[in-house]
């Protein structure tokens, strides 16, 4: 089944993908970093200036769509790691009940990405009993951030609920929704919000993967993690297309992605050299960085 699914999802021309936030995607690599004494200090102070209102001048900027670097969906990333033998841990996903405590619009965008990645993680691991509460949380949060009506949310949620045991069907549904969302982003210049949600989904996916049981003994999985350097580069390149200096929140997110990228560069170097001792050490460093960044956005 997984091999068949891979053919489906990699055959898609993915520019953007959203299932009210369920499966989200928008839109090579630089060399290894030699200086290993990196300053990855994270700013733990959140701005209190962000309001619940959408800043149209910030979020809806006109760009040339062809300049956007393609990004995979959380479904693609999770299934890639699933093929390496990634194991499930019920303690890892974000708790949907904590979403009620998020009162900043920007946090809601990031957490929509978290919930998207967690939902895919549950589906990929056939944890169907947990899926309904994530679907409901995504439905409510998608409406709160203005995505609720983009893809006929209720209709697609019902379709997904009816196919929780069939990953191939969910991928097919996602491919249909992709066309609608591609059109929405093009017509509304809404690429930046999509990029923020994707960044949240990517951070959460890395967190789920890096904390997978027995990861240190799975070289294929570690190599797949190091290959996420491409994704980090593309996220940062896409952020360069927008004027975001006025937003501390988005600038901070960009810094977080940069911090992860630096760790991925080092890990990629060691995996290419198959240096077992050093890549295990650097994997721990990457894990600490990702967890620190995730904790910054977690709303308890």
Whether the predicted pLDDT of 90 surpasses 60: yes
CA–CA dist 177, 181 (Å, integer): 6
Q: Check residues 31 and 50 and name the one with the higher pLDDT.
A: 50
CA–CA dist 185, 2 (Å, integer): 30
Question: pLDDT value at position 158?
Answer: 81
Helices (DSSP H) in the chain: which residue ranges? 2-11, 56-59, 74-82, 105-124, 131-144, 153-161, 167-188, 191-210, 219-226, 229-239, 248-273, 276-297
Would the CA dihedral through 284, 289, 286, 37 be positive or negative?
negative
C-alpha angle with apex 136: 130 to 141, nearest 5 degrees?
125
Question: pLDDT value at position 187?
Answer: 76
CA–CA dist 295, 287 (Å, integer): 12
Percent of the chain surpassing pLDDT 90: 30
Whether the predicted pLDDT of 220 surpasses 90: no
Question: pLDDT value at position 11?
Answer: 34
Q: Check residues 256 and 5 and name the one with the higher pLDDT.
A: 256
Q: Which of 159, 161, 115, 143 is nearest to 22 (CA)?
A: 115
For residue range 100-138, what is the model confidence (pLDDT) as tens digits?
Answer: 888 889 999 999 999 989 988 988 888 878 888 888 888
pLDDT bucket at 150, cuts 50 / 70 / 90: low
Whether the predicted pLDDT of 209 surpasses 70: yes
Contact residues for 158 (Cβ-Cβ < 8 A; gap 6+): none
pLDDT bucket at 5, cuts 50 / 70 / 90: very low
Three-class secondary structure of residue 66 per DSSP: helix
Q: Phi/psi zone of residue 200: left (φ > 0), alpha (ψ -120 to 50 degrees), beta?
A: alpha
- Provide the token pair at 41: 């200090």
Q: What is the mean pLDDT of residues 31-42?
A: 36
Domain definitions of the chain by residue range: 2-24+57-297
Question: pLDDT value at position 191?
Answer: 86
Round the average pLDDT of the chain to a whole number and report it: 77
Place of tokens 């959203």: 18
Q: Which of 261, 229, 134, 142 is nearest to 193 (CA)?
A: 142
Q: What is the mean pLDDT of residues 192-214?
A: 91
CB of 84 within 8 A of CB of 174? no
Whether the predicted pLDDT of 282 surpasses 70: yes
CB of 177 within 8 A of CB of 19? yes
Give the number of other Cβ atoms within 10 Å of residue 88's Cβ. Answer: 16
CA–CA dist 285, 290 (Å, integer): 9
CA 55 to mean position of chain CA atoms: 23
Q: Check residues 46 and 273 and name the one with the higher pLDDT.
A: 273
Q: Check residues 130 and 1 and name the one with the higher pLDDT.
A: 130
Question: pLDDT value at position 72?
Answer: 83
CA count, 13 A, side-chain hemisphere, 67? 11
Whether the predicted pLDDT of 50 surpasses 50: no
Q: What is the mean pLDDT of residues 158-175?
A: 76
Three-class secondary structure of residue 17 per DSSP: strand
């Amino acid at each position: 089944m997984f091999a068949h699914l891979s053919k489906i999802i990699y055959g898609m021309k993915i520019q953007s993908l959203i299932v009210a936030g369920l499966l989200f995607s928008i839109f090579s690599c630089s060399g290894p970093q030699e200086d290993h004494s990196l300053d990855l200090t994270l700013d733990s102070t959140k701005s209190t200036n962000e309001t619940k209102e959408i800043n149209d001048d910030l979020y809806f900027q006109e760009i040339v769509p062809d300049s956007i670097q393609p990004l995979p969906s959380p479904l693609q990333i999770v299934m890639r790691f699933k093929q390496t033998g990634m194991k499930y841990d019920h303690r890892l996903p974000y708790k949907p009940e904590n979403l009620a405590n998020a009162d900043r619009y920007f946090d809601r965008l990031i957490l929509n990405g978290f919930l998207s990645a967690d939902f895919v993680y549950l589906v990929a691991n056939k944890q169907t009993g947990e899926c309904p509460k994530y679907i409901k949380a995504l439905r409510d949060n998608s409406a709160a951030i203005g995505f609720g009506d983009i893809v006929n949310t209720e209709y697609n949620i019902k379709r997904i609920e009816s196919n929780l045991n069939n990953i191939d069907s969910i991928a097919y549904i996602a491919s249909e929704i992709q066309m609608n969302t591609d059109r929405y982003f093009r017509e509304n210049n809404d690429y930046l919000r999509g990029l923020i949600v994707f960044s949240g989904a990517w951070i959460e996916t890395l967190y789920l993967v890096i904390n997978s049981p027995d990861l240190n003994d799975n070289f294929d999985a570690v190599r797949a993690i190091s290959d996420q350097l491409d994704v980090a580069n593309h996220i940062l390149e896409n952020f360069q297309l927008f004027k975001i200096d006025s937003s501390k929140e988005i600038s901070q997110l960009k810094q977080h992605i940069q911090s992860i990228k630096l760790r991925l560069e080092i890990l990629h170097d060691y995996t290419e050299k198959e240096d077992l001792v050093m890549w295990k050490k650097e994997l721990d460093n990457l894990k600490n960085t990702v967890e620190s960044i995730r904790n910054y956005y977690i709303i308890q």
